[in-house]
Chains A and B, each alone.
Chain A
């Protein structure tokens, strides 16, 4: 094989696995044949997770099939693993088992050279560990606040884990009807996706690569040795200093951002502590007021209307909270732009506008985004993960007519499962109908639903 620096991929293929509601992409770069007419391939796995499969598909079986296909496709060697963020629908497949038979064990055995994760996953930012190379202070307010932010994310995970206890109380039919099934399902889904049991997956990701990169906007990733001819631009997530720059541009009070950051951190700590408190309040002796008399066998009739209202109110509150923490977690997504030759492939995880805004405010990045030819649709096609200001940047959006006239048109790729999340009535259905229509009108729209309908494990998208 010639010197890596002179090599350029001849083509790339994205294998989008059918993981139901989740993401799993294997990006393969194919290099030109060498003198022995052997084509070299290099592989990048971007996310591997799921929180729901189509009817008739067993999750464990399907995920193992995917893991084995990845192993086979990359011939037992992965170059890069990217875990965009720690939501289950992106990393559950990295979970291991004690006996080594987990899907995550299969991936770990592919010995990736590097693992890329957001800066928020950096173990050096854990409260108790403030040393190490990767804990380098960032300019401005620095490390301490990044630590605080990471601690908030952990509090959110912790809260999500404890919400189930409260839902149990709210679902009790002892004196009155339980909260609606629909509301319960929504809260369950979001709290499960955000709760802690991704631990083995998190640990696996932290340990599997020869080198771990915890990245933020502008992080320089040198992959010239393992992916010759490919440049990976990191466009997100911004770290707190970068976030602050955006906010401070419009704010008179320069400390406003940091003050609010501190308040938010306190808020999540309190929420996590309240969650723990709720979990501890089970059984008579552990009541908030153990000596107080309570109604055991009935609720006075004049109290019932209000108790019902209160339970429903609390459910709405919990739903609001899990939505917020879900959004915060989505916004830790790594945004990567792979560039080779004249091709640009954009993988933004589940990033929403708060993550995107730093990149979109940077003129150089805006320029870079213009000729993106493949866009992995953010957050399974939800309404708020393809910011219009991002979509507006793409110049290769072309309608059918323009395509017929020979103009180059971009490809959009969506890993999704209809009916799992959100509702059409309040415009929250995933994938969002209006977005999908826009994608269909102005790009070659591909979706893992095609694989599901054809009962296949994946779809392949070639970029030549």
Chain B
């Protein structure tokens, strides 16, 4: 018997957006490709483990079982349900479908990151499988918990009415998964630092969730179609009037339409988030530094809206540019809807890839949006030197600038990071080993600590070394090794003044109180093991440390020890309930 190659992916049915989005009276579902594997009951796979325990009722639901590979292909157990059933009520009453839904969206999101980064991506905790509880509790809440190595999704009832399952919302699942993945890539970004760093986690998770929606063409087509009616035979392509594709119209139909749909189902859990999307899309321009002076932008979610606004507006511009190209030569004022949707999917796809790749080029601590912008530009420039087709980088720079975000790299003409020109010694480093061994990279750093301008009294640790292979749109591969190190110093607050120049101690903070300051850098090696970029924040950087400590003091960080376990849940709650800690007021 001739062995048949096992498939690399398998298709699984999910709810396309959330159960409020219906077409012809049925909940809109779609099939997505996820990495293929022999799934154990759960689903329980090599990266994800669904355990359907409900703490509010103390019940563990039986897991879904998947048949093994049959004749070279895997079965999607719910494809038949979609085809055979007259209605879609089963979606709300079948917990095993919920188990599959979360498994598929988490795996799809993870695969998306791995594709963009060209390597395996670890979770932000020790362990290979993230636990997922699709019906964790009766509560309008869903979040990532590092300590529990988990994504937990609540369910809730709106008034006396129907029960809403957050595990069935594509947006919610993708958003929370992104938190978990981002934590694996940059685990110091959950450290209390600044409203911008916390806002980045939220904003980035939103950007990934939203741009991911555009890969689901049914959803986008559905949103665009809502604004016009047409009569056609089934063989004719759907045509959309070109005037509905003007930037403002697109913004209203697609982005605001998306916000409306998310708000409709996820009141309470993502209601505020839908509102945030609405506000992001319509966010007014700001000058550099202006948002620092506005109280409400000190709140992480609100701050994150700036990132969302910049990225989504850039997306709209790119999409528009692509639509303009397919409009050429068309005189009847109508465009093929499928083509328009495809252009949106491609634009979103490219931007999402850029957004993810940029993470490798960000400093590992105290991230600011300006750092991320330089990272975006650099990451893309490395892989796609010629940006003349759709001008992604130009559009991104413009879009961020509109919201007061300029690239952190001020010396390069295009905002990308400057290459590393330090006089480094490679004599005692072993090239092969440096591509994967943290100790070898540490040795390199240590040997070059002066050239790399490290603080020699700070505790220094290499936290990751990741070789990666990325493929550009032209088919060329880029090999790089990305390593990151952190530096930290724990000192008494009164000792901050001994830095040169002195770091400011927050007014009211006890001088004997211990504070920890962080620094660190991302090291990007080329395929010959030479350092291309050293993207770093120095531990004694006064311009960053003084406002950081002031912000932490104001937020009560030095006041009460807070665990990481429910950090994201707490953030959502603080936002919803407008809670603030004022350590200066308590005994």
Contact = CB atoms under 8 A, between A and B. Distances in A.
B272 to A, nearest CB: 5
A57 B55 CA distance: 37
Max chain B C-beta neighbours (<10 A), residue from A253, A269, A310, A432: A310
8 contacts: A166-B137, A266-B271, A274-B56, A277-B156, A289-B94, A303-B53, A310-B51, A384-B587
Interface in A209-245: none
Contacts of A256: 296
A364 B205 CA distance: 47
B68 interface: no
A389 B271 CA distance: 36
Interface in B570-587: 570, 573, 576-579, 582, 584-587
B138 interface: yes
B58 interface: yes
A456 interface: no
B587 A317 contact: no
Interface in A257-305: 257, 259-261, 263-264, 266-267, 269-271, 273-278, 281-282, 287-289, 291-295, 299, 303
Interface residues of B, number: 64
Given A386-B587, A388-B584, A288 B54 contact: yes
B141 interface: yes
A76 B299 CA distance: 54
B267 A270 contact: yes
Nearest to A313: B148
A408 interface: no
B59 interface: yes
Given A263-B576, A274-B157, A314-B136, A292 B61 contact: yes
Given A256-B296, A263-B576, A289 B55 contact: no
A306 B51 contact: yes
Contacts of A166: 55-56, 137-138
A403 to B, nearest CB: 22
B138 A309 contact: no
Contact of A264 (B133, B158, B578): B578
B255 interface: no
Interface stretch (B108-116, B317-325, B348-356, B560-568): B560-568
A435 B587 contact: yes
B179 interface: no
B123 to A, nearest CB: 14
Contacts of A263: 271-272, 275, 576
B25 interface: no
Contacts of B163: 277, 288
B577 A253 contact: no
Interface residues of A, number: 65
B139 A317 contact: yes
Interface string B534-577: 00000000000000000000000001110001100110010011
Contacts of B131: 306, 309
Contacts of A307: 51, 53, 60
B579 A270 contact: no
A289 B157 contact: no
A287 B56 contact: no
Contact of B53 (A251, A310, A383): A310
Contacts of B566: 313, 316-317, 320
B140 A271 contact: yes
A426 B561 contact: yes
B365 interface: no
A169 B294 contact: no
Given A263-B576, A426-B561, A387 B585 contact: yes
A287 B56 CA distance: 11
Contact of A273 (B58, B154, B156): B156
B139 A169 contact: no
Contacts of B62: 292-295
Contact of B565 (A170, A276, A294, A313): A313
B234 interface: no
B54 A306 contact: no
Contacts of B54: 288
Contact of A253 (B57, B296, B561): B296
B264 to A, nearest CB: 14
Interface in B143-162: 145, 147-150, 152, 154-160
A271 B131 CA distance: 25
Contacts of A170: 55, 58
Contacts of B93: 289, 291
B285 interface: no
A266 B587 contact: no
B268 interface: yes
A264 B140 CA distance: 12
Contacts of B45: none
A263 B295 CA distance: 18
B192 interface: no
B148 A316 contact: no
A253 B54 CA distance: 40
Interface of B: 49, 51, 53-62, 93-96, 131, 133, 135-141, 145, 147-150, 152, 154-160, 163, 267-268, 271-272, 275, 294-296, 559-561, 565-566, 569-570, 573, 576-579, 582, 584-587
Contacts of A287: 57, 59
User: Interface of chain A, helix or strand or loop or mixed?
Assistant: helix
A287 B52 CA distance: 14
B579 A434 contact: no
Contacts of B133: 306, 310
A253 B158 CA distance: 29
Given A274-B157, A278-B138, A317-B141, A309 B148 contact: yes
Given A251-B294, A251-B295, A387-B585, A311 B55 contact: yes
Contact of A169 (B57, B272, B295): B57
A273 B268 CA distance: 12
A98 interface: no
B294 A172 contact: no
Contacts of B582: 353
A250 interface: yes
B577 A288 contact: no
Given A253-B296, A324-B573, A426-B561, A281 B60 contact: no
A252 interface: yes
B57 A289 contact: no
Contacts of B577: 260, 264, 267, 324
B560 A427 contact: yes
A307 B271 CA distance: 29
Nearest to B159: A273
A209 to B, nearest CB: 33
Contacts of B155: 288
A273 B158 contact: yes
Given A295-B60, A317-B139, 14 more contacts: A169-B56, A169-B57, A172-B58, A174-B58, A251-B294, A274-B140, A288-B163, A289-B93, A292-B95, A293-B61, A294-B60, A295-B62, A316-B565, A427-B559
B55 A274 contact: no
Closest 4 CB pairs of A and B: A169-B58, A435-B587, A250-B295, A293-B62
A438 interface: yes
A435 B585 CA distance: 12
Contacts of A384: 585-587
Nearest to B154: A274
Max chain A C-beta neighbours (<10 A), residue from B49, B61, B135, B163: B61
B280 to A, nearest CB: 13
Contacts of A426: 560-561
B576 A264 contact: yes
Contact of B56 (A259, A281, A316, A438): A281
Max chain A C-beta neighbours (<10 A), residue from B55, B566, B569: B55
B579 A324 contact: yes
Given A310-B55, A353-B585, A384-B586, A273 B157 contact: yes
